[in-house]
Each structure stands twice: as structure tokens, then as C-alpha cells.
Chains A and B, each alone.
Chain A
Amino acid sequence: MSIIYLLISISVFVAAVFLFLFIRSVKAGQFDDDYTPSVRILFDDELKVNGEEKGSVSEKKNKKENQI
């Protein structure tokens, strides 16, 4: 048996696996919201540190504005 039968079967099988995974993820609702995850990924986890730092920065900003 020639190798080409094997290769084509493998390639079709791999493609079919991807099709299956695609359909499964669509079914699970992964593609329903395509916006929020892109924003969520940019949020930092360290709330407290983040909060204090940023807070003081924005305070500074505000002070400057007040001076003007």
C-alpha cells in the first residue's frame, strides 16, 4: 500500500479533528461574546497595589489640572 493513502487519511483526520473542536467550542458558547475577553485580558490582578499606585497618579493629574 502506498504511503499517499496513509498521508491523506492522516491529513483529513487532523482536519476533521479541528472541525469537531470548532463545532464543540461554538456549541459551548465560546464565540458568543467576542469582545469582553479582549478587554478582560488587559486587567491586572494585583488590585490593591494597582489601586494605590494608580490612585496617586490620578490624584497628581488632578492637582495639576486644578493649578491650571
Chain B
Amino acid sequence: MINVIYYNNVNLDICNRYKGANMESKKCYHCGNEVTSFNRIQFDNKQFCCNGCKTVYEIFSENDLISYYDFETAPGATPNPVTRKYDFLEKEEIVDKLLDFKESEIAIATLYIPHIHCSSCIWILENLNKLSLGVYRSLVNFPEKKVSITFNPSQVNLKQLVELLDSIGYAPYISLKNYEEKPKNIDRSLIYKIGVAFFSFGNVMMLSFPEYFNIEDLWIIEYRDFFRWLILLMSLPVFFYSASPYHIAAWNGLKTGNYTIDIPMSLGIIVMFIRSVYDIVFSHGQGFFDSMCMLVFFMLLGKLFQQRTYNFLSFERDYKSYFPIAVTRIEADGGEKPVQVYDVVKGDRLLIRNEELIPVDSILISAKAFVDYSFVTGEAVPVEKKSGDKLFAGGKQVGEVIEIETVKTVSQSYLTQLWSNDVFQKKVDFKYKTITDSISHYFTPVLLIISVLALVYWMFIDYAVAFNVFTAILIVACPCALALSAPFTMGNVIRIMGRKKFYVKNTIVVEQMAKVDTLVFDKTGTITSSAAAGIYYEGADLNIEEKNAIKNIVRGSNHPLSRRLYEFLPVSKVEKPTLFEEIKGSGVTGIVNNQKYNLGSSQFLNVVNVNLVNETAVYVGIGDVLKGKFVFSNNYRNNLSKIFRNLDELGYGLIVLSGDNDGEEAVLRELLPESTTLVFNQKPDEKLRYIEKLQQQGKNVMMIGDGLNDAGALAQSNVGVSVSENINVFTPASDAILDAKKFSKIPAFLKYSKSAIGIIKRSYIMALTYNVVGISFAISNHLSPLVAAILMPISTVTIISFVTIMSNYYGRKNL
């Protein structure tokens, strides 16, 4: 149920956004990207942003699958240009590891496809058999973003299937992790326990009913024993099976001296059980089995509610989720062959294509390479490497195909070594005491003292009553309302945060967030946006020839801005400039069709009035005339300054910890409040130590980062939040994942976590009041099974509704 509501909201969201956008401006019919005069492609009365999108549309229309576009507006993704990146799927042993099941005529593969996001996606993927003959059936699991394809391996192989998916914009994400991971068994025992508890609860209630009214009727007297023994029988599975997690947790708590809430819970249940068995066996009364079953059922329900998992996210990623399964090795005879990364040995020659990851430390053989180390070091700009330079594993080649020679094996490489380093392995398992546990630390002793005092008091009056009172206190004081309020509040808070695209690993993280007093930000990718920021042109219009010429000139340049400009400009015919010159740090000059073009910085083109410090622009001069500029929109996130000032006002300590050099210091100083500490040139382990140092000063640190270079710091901090443009891929292990679009909401999320703690505290006051009422009944020996059966559900229901309403209210107010 809960999932349904959540995902529906997401879908509506997407739906509305696209619909709204469609009215205002021109969007690609397939993927919804903006269609500009630079990239428009007309086809079949529709507009597309690129050839890729048009091709997918063509495939669908040829196969009568055009209703893909009816469920959702612009549901597609731009397919990647066909490369040979799936060549490794030709290898039998790799394919066998990826398949769930294989026989001669039938095979099943389950693939993770990050793009799955709407009903159109489900529809097209489940109609895959229309696109490939060998497919028998395909089933989508939407929450997990997975498709399981049953196909005939003699007609179509996995590689063809994957390439088909890629060609229609649904590229599966296959990493080393898929290769190693065994399909894990899902633990469904909690659901079974709830099922059993519900069964017993319902029947026991029904059978207890006649006795509630305490009529000394002949009918009741005749059947009473039958009812009671049946109740006893049906309560056994609840006590021994459904309630077992509480007994086990209590026992562990006692052993480790950790007095958690489970101890009074388990004690209450055990006393209830013993007293009820005693009552029934000696015909004293009907016992408290009805209350016991109900209590266990509600408690387990609370546990389920707290257990909010995001099936499509993973909080435990390590380098294996980033590494490819296989790479292309150049054989001695010059042939290319895919090889499993673990089989790569020292001295192998490997071929790395555009956007492919370098899996091992190696030496560059090709003349030149541009390596994007943003995941390792946080450096934003690709680094230029020359032949003979050393390349570290984890970098991504940007640009043309390169050849490298390995100097280590995968497990000995820098990044993998870093990962097996103890500090990075350090799990945050310091015993965190939840708010419930700290309350129960006082609750249990007080409860025991009260019950013993009552026992002693009644001993002087009546032995039989003394036993009744003693057990009644322990029964009624069983802190179910107390134990339920935190799971229900936190479960709801997590759900609300998830709806706002802030995905929290578990409820403890929310509690820790409320305690945070220092925020540490990574720079690259966190407070700057790593997604290819938009480019727009300002100035006098350029005609097609001029655009062509500019594209042909920037083709020769390897400067990152030139590369981005080249990607941005429309497809054109290749023409070699008659003159081409690159002036380092300034720009490029070229002559095409006897026309001279100058492209570069403001100084290079002698532009006088430059506004904004923060703007990156390439100016365009044709001949001697300044035509205009291509503006690369600001890399810092929107409202960054406002967010930081807001956090500063709220009293948080702010630190920016960057792996980059201090080139941006002046800009950051201007943007951020004065109290912000700026630290540059931090290596991954230095970041970790910095956080450690802060913690030794007694600070509660929340680290907000993005790359693998932050992984250590994220693990060390009290709350590690990884910010991601695409939450489905590329997030290091962390406690929470934040969608980059919601970066500006960080202060609101922090505030909300504080409100959540406030709600829990208020609900504790309510729960304790109920307990006092219950205990006063018990001390005066007035606790009949009927009173217990009324008091317990009332307290539980009122507290659950209170915390749910309050957390929804604060959610609406804060977020």
C-alpha cells in the first residue's frame, strides 16, 4: 500500500512537469529535452533533439509500438551511440554469471535499468518480444527498476538483447558487482510473524469476547474452559514465534549491559504469558492473552513501518559498482578480445574507449589522453596525460580511444587498495543510543522498583492479591506506546523525506541528523553541479556557415570548454580549417573559407566590460567584429549563497573541504558567509582525518559529498549524505542520498529532523501518562483483563495517530 502511494506521487510529479513544460517551450518528442535552433530535427511532424531520439522513434513506429508515447509525455532517453562496449557479453563465462537460469531453449536474465521511471517504460519493456523474436516474455519490477527477460538463447544472445535495450534508450547498468553478487535471499520472516500474530489476535479476541461481559450464564460456564484452552493454544505461536525478536533482543541487551526498550517489552510479554497460563490452568480467569496478541501484532507492525527500504537505491556501494566486468585486451597478434577485469595481469595492453573506466593502474601508450578523475580526486576538469604517463585506476577516459599498458592487477591498484584500507572500511557501528533507548534506561529500573514496592505492600494484606498486583503492573506498564512512537514517527518522516527526494537509510539517521552541529561540504559535484551545465548563446545571430566553421575549429582543440562547445553545436560537415592555432590559456584562432574566427576568453578578444565574476564564457569574434559569446552557465548550485547564509543563521558550523586546488578561493569567499572555513587540496584520507578531528572536538558532523574521494569522510562522519545528479548510479556508500535538485532543501531537512525529535518527546509524555493511569489501576488491584484490553489499544491508537498527524503537519510546514 505504502509503496503504491509513494510511487504514484512520483509519477504525477513527472507527468505534471512534462505536461507543463510542453505548453511553454519546444521539447523533444522522445526525451523531453529542450529543442533549440541548434539541434532541431524534424521528422513525422514531430520535433527531436538529436538523431538518437529520432531513431528510437523510428524503431517504435515501425513496430507499431507508438503508444509508448501515449502513457506519458516524452518518456524516453537519448540512446548512446553504438559502440562496442558490450563486447564482453560474448564471453560465455561472463554471460553465465549474469543469467539467472539457462538451458538450451530458455534463459532468464534480470537487468537493472536506471531509466525505468514511468508507465511507458513498463509498457515498452514488457512488449520487448515485438522488437526481438527470441524474447518469450519480459517482466518489469518497477520499484527495483529491474526487468527480467525470458528468452531463447539459440535465437538471440544476451549481448544482442542488451544492445537492443541500449538502442531504445534503456541501457542496462552492468557492473562488476553483478558479476560477483549471488542473488540474495530476501528475508520475509517479519511478514510471516505479522501474519501469524494477526491470525491469533483475531481469533483470540473473538473467543475472549463472551467473558468480557462477565455474565455468570450457564452457557458461558459450560464452554468457558473450551474457550480458554483454545485461546491458550492459539497464543503459543505468538509468544514463541512472533514475539521471538523481542526476547532475543532483550537477551542480547542484558548480556551486553545495554538496557534497550526491548527488555521491558519482553518482560511484559513474558509476565503476561506466565500469568495467563497460570490463570487458565488453575481456572482463576481468562488471562491476558488477548492483550498480548494485540500488543505483539502492533509492535511488529511498527517494525514493518520503520523498515522503509528504497529498493532501487543502494547505500552500500563500493568500487565494484563502478567497475566494468570486462575490458578489451589487445592480444599479441593485434586482435581485440574482451577479458574479465580480474584476469588482467601486469603487462597487458588494454583498449579504453570514450567514457570507459580505467580499471587498473597503468601507463599510457597512446600519444594523448584526457582522464576524468572526478570520482577519485574530486578534480572537476579532465587531466591531460601524455604518452608514458602513469594512469590511476578509477579515472574515466574522455575523448578518443586510448591504449594503455597495465602495471598492476585490479586488486593492487590505488583505488582498490584505498578501499581495503582499514580507515575506509570502518563502519559507523559505534553504539548509537536511540532516544527510545535512553528513555528506557530510566524506565526499566523505575518500573521494577514500583512493582516490587507494590508487591511488598500487598504482602502484608493478602498473598494472592500481591502476586496479581505484581504481575498486573508489569503487564500494564509494558511500554508498547512508548516503543511504538519512535518507529512510527521516524518511519513517517523517512517516507515524507523520500517523497521530497531525500533518501535516508534508516530511522537512526534522522535522529543523528537532529543532533548535527557542523556541516562539511565537498566542493566539486556537491556545491558545484557536475552535470553538464547548460550552454546558451548571447549576441548577434550566427548563420549556419558560421556555426559550421566554429564547430570545425573547436574540433581541433582539446580544451574542456572546446569539447563542450563542440558537443553543443549542431552536426555539420567536416572541414579542415586552413589555419588553426591554439593559444594556451586564451583561446583558439582559425581560418575557414577565408574568414578568420577568434574564440576564447574576454582578454583574448579584448572585450572591455565583463560582468559577473562567476561566469564562464567563450567569446566569438569573426574577422574583427565581436559577434557574441557562448555562456556556460554558472557551475555553483542555485541559491548556494542563500543556503549557506540560512545555515549560518541556524547556527551550524560550515566547512568546505575540497580536493581541488585553491583557485576558486576568492569566488567562494565572496559567495559564502564569513564564518565558513575553506580547506583545499585534501586527499581522500585527509578528508577523513579532518572529520575525525572535528569529532574529537565533540562536534556532530554531517558530511555532504559526492564522489569516491569523499567515501572515507562519508563513512567517518555522523551522517554521510551523498549528493547525486542521478540517484540510480554513482553514489558512494553513505547514510543518505540526496537528489541534487533538492540541494537547496538541506536546511529544511535538518529542521524537519529536529521537529521529529520534538514530536517523539511529546508523544512520550502522552505514553507515560497512559502508563501512570494503567499502573494506578494495577496497584489498586483493579486491572481486569477487560480494562487491559481497552486501555492498551486506546493508548496505542491515540499515540500512533498523534505522531502521524504531527509528522505530516511538520512535513508540510518545513519541506
A36-B142 in contact (CB<8A): yes
A33-B143 in contact (CB<8A): yes
B142-A35 in contact (CB<8A): yes
CB-contact partner of A16 in B61, B66, B144, B199, under 8 A? B199
B230 CB within 8 Å of chain A: yes
B195-A27 in contact (CB<8A): no
List the B residue with the shortest CB-CB distance to A4: B223
Interface string of A2-22 (1 = CB under 8 A from B): 101100100110011011001
Segment at the A interface, from B1-9, B461-469, B503-511 = B1-9
Q: In chain B, residues 206-244, which have Cβ atoms closer than 8 Å to a Cβ of chain A?
A: 207, 223, 226, 230, 234
Main secondary structure of the interface of B (DSSP, over half): helix
Interface size class of B (residues with CB under 8 A): 35 or more
B230-A52 in contact (CB<8A): no
A35-B46 in contact (CB<8A): no
B69 CB within 8 Å of chain A: yes
Q: In chain B, residues 95-152, which have Cβ atoms closer than 8 Å to a Cβ of chain A?
A: 119, 122-123, 126-127, 130, 139-144
A26-B142 in contact (CB<8A): no
CB-contact partner of B64 in A8, A19, A35, A48, under 8 A? A48
CB-contact partner of A19 in B127, B199, B226, under 8 A? B199
Give the CA-CA distance A35 to B10 in the complex, in Å: 12
B402 CB within 8 Å of chain A: no
Chain A residues in 8 Å Cβ range of B66? 51, 54-55, 58
B142-A50 in contact (CB<8A): no
Segment at the A interface, from B186-194, B368-376, B637-645, B654-662 = B186-194
Give the CA-CA distance A4 to B207 in the complex, in Å: 12
Chain B residues in 8 Å Cβ range of A52? 64
Q: In chain B, residues 381-402, which have Cβ atoms closer than 8 Å to a Cβ of chain A?
A: none
Chain B residues in 8 Å Cβ range of A38? 4
Chain A residues in 8 Å Cβ range of B45? 59, 62-63, 66
B226-A5 in contact (CB<8A): yes
Chain B residues in 8 Å Cβ range of A29? 186
Interface string of B174-207 (1 = CB under 8 A from A): 0000000000001010011001100100110001
A26-B122 in contact (CB<8A): no
Chain B residues in 8 Å Cβ range of A54? 66-67, 70
Give the CA-CA distance A48 to B234 in the complex, in Å: 56
Whole-angstrom distance from the CB of A17 to the nearest CB of chain B? 11
B195-A23 in contact (CB<8A): yes
CB-contact partner of A27 in B7, B188, B196, under 8 A? B188
CB-contact partner of A26 in B3, B65, B143, B191, under 8 A? B191
Give the CA-CA distance A35 to B312 in the complex, in Å: 13
CB-contact partner of B130 in A11, A19, A47, A59, under 8 A? A47
A51-B7 in contact (CB<8A): no
Chain B residues in 8 Å Cβ range of A59? 44-45
Give the CA-CA distance A63 to B61 in the complex, in Å: 17
**Chain A interface (Cβ < 8 Å from any Cβ of B):** 2, 4-5, 8, 11-12, 15-16, 18-19, 22-23, 26-27, 29, 31-36, 38-40, 42-43, 47-48, 50-52, 54-55, 58-59, 62-63, 66
Contacts A22-B195, A47-B65, A47-B127 supplied; 9 other A-B pairs, CB < 8 Å: A12-B234, A19-B199, A33-B144, A35-B143, A43-B126, A50-B67, A51-B65, A54-B67, A55-B67
